[in-house]
Structure 1
């Protein structure tokens, strides 16, 4: 398991007693290390003197196999669920996965100064999290979930990075099964938390949007101050029913925090942010209506934790998107939009609307969407139908196992000729080069997007290289 816990700043050291107290484990043969532990990590490659290595076990790997190696690297302690024949102090626990959660929860409890925001949703989590990070880190040191460390392993890994100077934490919580958000939100103990939206991501695991809503709503069981509600979501009423706090704040159309006078530009947007504290114009450096919605969500979370309107606007205006999230890259005479970080049906449609705002010939290059279970073929069919129908998009190039299903959807409309389907990137590349040669010297805008496993950035890089 290679989840790196390295951070540039010095972490709070752990005492031997704290390790044992947090994990409820016992020292093998009562053999303990002397001195403090500088950090706990799960990546054997980084282990060195002063570290405690926590050996996770997954379906296809068992980090107990690396304990002799970390001992040779000078690592002092191994946290294990079974004793191992290696010359290293071993803290034996019932389950190392749960021990990691206990250590994260312990670290969280040791930082009572912290104001914690937790958020979940089907799409927009990462962008909303980055916007909140921009708002809060202007004011005080803030811990923000890195990358996709948002599951039952990633969340405690992030909590282990808490330091006494942190005043805020923004934790993104993801769900791949029922009970996961209950587990992580209990660990995080948020003051303010909520759902951004209920979409169609992970349909496969949850058997439909009702199941997704149930899984995400587990976040409302562990909030100490204010619950955040997406007013315009189809599931808003179901979500309201899950709220347990006296205080709540809703965002979006029909909510208490909402956008009006929205102007969408090619690579940015502006809107009036309306709140109980007043209204302010926001010049948002993000394209797309969905990002205006993400900004109103971020504003609601920030208001609920006591941030003033001026600070919220300043933070939103300085926010920077995460890598692979609608990054605009001018290259030669062309515009490339890198939205390859991940995809679900909702974010795919939102990206198409952004592409439609760009200049010249507009080409959307899509990879498969994962985790749709038995709905995969029909969801790709609907996506193909909808993408070619977006006004302003000239070509859609679908790549992957479900590209033929998307093409069938496209052909159910009058715009069927806009779509080409390819089973892999190698087949799609010559077609894209041909498109460029055919339309030269007209300006062209390309948007690349797909689920993480499709690595659409590889196809984008290959095309850029050929220009």
Structure 2
């Protein structure tokens, strides 16, 4: 739903927060037939006149006095069962799909579908932020890292802007970041509205991650987000089981361009196999297309000419890349300008993530010097190649999530580290019928890297280990549970420590495997041993 400016009352003069009142709640939910339940005419009118709230919450455990509670119906719960609890916690109104009998006189906004209403309310609040610039990102891997890089770039941009001394929000802006970034993996039809409803008038930028496990999901969320810049990072094999093939994944990722206008910008990966499909999808909406990728010889797009043939617009590229165990050094090229980058994140895949972030920032007019400053200050998100010490050894936590593409990238990172190189790998989920073949291929690909040990756990661990052993890896082991793997790994690390040798251990696996618990268990043994000493 596109909200017209006349439907948004001017609230900025009093507060940076967006307030929901009886009228704009009705306007925002008109497409889902919103109306106020009239329980007692005189009392209802009085309560409606007083209604003013800055938060719409779907979890009663987070309800504070003055909030609005929206009752979501899930697979194993019905938010309508918690309306009374919301009222008791101080909610001033509830949004429900049918009238709910309560002991209180709490206001009830009735809609045809609360899940859809949640999206419409979020879209309405996003449209109220007329000075906001929004970037939407999707891809099979790299979304979290790219959005964190963009946050760093926008922080650098903020440092170059003097806040207007006469601004009503000078104090608020100085106390809070002006960039809103999707937290964790809140990237679906509920997570995206949750993020949008956190927008305030002090935000200058928003970076929204859009994910999907079925066709049409990104088309829905990008309509809510209405991005100024839409970016596809890559097309991999994450969620292969849900989609059935990479062609369907590519088509779904391309949905992110559907809400662009002629004035907006599409960002496409020129090195990707599906650059032609993505570029064609973008061209249906805008002529402003930026490609990001690597230099290949004298022609920055020689590896894949599809982008040049279809677009001919701007490119953001990297050259002279030096991949180090802890960072990447490369030259960033944007238009006719270049800048030296010292990216404090390891792995070639993070150069690609940085190029995507640079392309998105460039689309919003951020100067290359500011982009370089932000990239040089970027930090790894938790569970994304974060490092910790364990005796003489280095533990690399890359456990946030996994798909075949990111596992190969992690193996490449591990292969250039110091000492004995150990990869600890949990099963990869959501691969459907391709699960066995994908795990077998990973075993072959890992064996091709200079990695000394491979320790796998999960129902498909044996398949990965068998294929890696057949491909020449001499030290590969499969375990039925993480405790067995832990005991083997600890013994191996202790033996190396006693011999005065170092090791680098990289942990990777799908979110369902919770591979980070192995790191916590190792670190806990160090604390316990120190206590005993």
Q: 1:46 aligns with which of 56, 62, 69?
A: 62
Q: Give the C-alpha shift of residue 128 in structure 1.
A: 0.7
**Corresponding position of 2:163:** none
**Corresponding position of 1:149:** 186
**Corresponding position of 1:64:** 80
How far does the alpha carbon of each residue in 1:401-459 deviate from its partner, in whole angstroms, 9 at most, with x for none?
A: 111121222133122x3211112111211111221233232111111111111110111
> Is the CA contact 1:16–1:37 (under 8 Å) kept in the aligned structure 2?
no
Q: 1:323 aligns with which of 364, 367, 382?
A: 382
CA distance in 2, matches of 1:209, 1:120: 15
Give the TM-score normalised by structure 2.
0.84
**Corresponding position of 1:137:** 155
**Corresponding position of 1:90:** 108
Matched, 1:117 2:135: yes
Task: Give structure 2 stretches of 5+ with no counterpart.
Answer: 1-14, 159-177, 295-299, 302-314, 527-533
CA distance in 2, matches of 1:175, 1:217: 11
**Corresponding position of 1:413:** 471
Matched, 1:437 2:494: yes
Q: Give the C-alpha shift of residue 16 in structure 1.
A: 1.6
**Corresponding position of 1:3:** none
Q: Give the C-alpha shift of residue 105 in structure 1.
A: 0.5
CA RMSD across the alignment = 1.4
Matched, 1:28 2:87: no
> Is the CA contact 1:11–1:39 (under 8 Å) kept in the aligned structure 2?
no
How far does the alpha carbon of each residue in 1:102-127 deviate from its partner, in whole angstroms, 9 at most, with x for none?
A: 01100011111111111110001111
CA distance in 1, matches of 2:396, 2:211: 25
**Corresponding position of 2:277:** 238
**Corresponding position of 1:14:** 20
**Corresponding position of 2:169:** none
**Corresponding position of 1:197:** 234
From the CA coordinates, give the structure whose radius of gyration is larger: 2
**Corresponding position of 1:4:** none
Aligned pairs, number: 457
CA distance in 1, matches of 2:16, 2:359: 32
Matches within 5 A, 1:173-322: 173-224=210-261, 225-243=264-282, 244=284, 245-253=286-294, 254-255=300-301, 256-322=315-381
Runs of 4+ displaced beyond 3 Å: 30-33
Moved more, 201-210 or 32-41: 32-41
Matches within 5 A, 1:358-437: 358-391=417-450, 393-415=451-473, 417-437=474-494
CA distance in 1, matches of 2:152, 2:252: 28
> Is the CA contact 2:51–2:92 (under 8 Å) kept in the aligned structure 1?
no
Q: Give the C-alpha shift of residue 10 in structure 1.
A: 6.8
Q: Give the C-alpha shift of residue 217 in structure 1.
A: 0.5
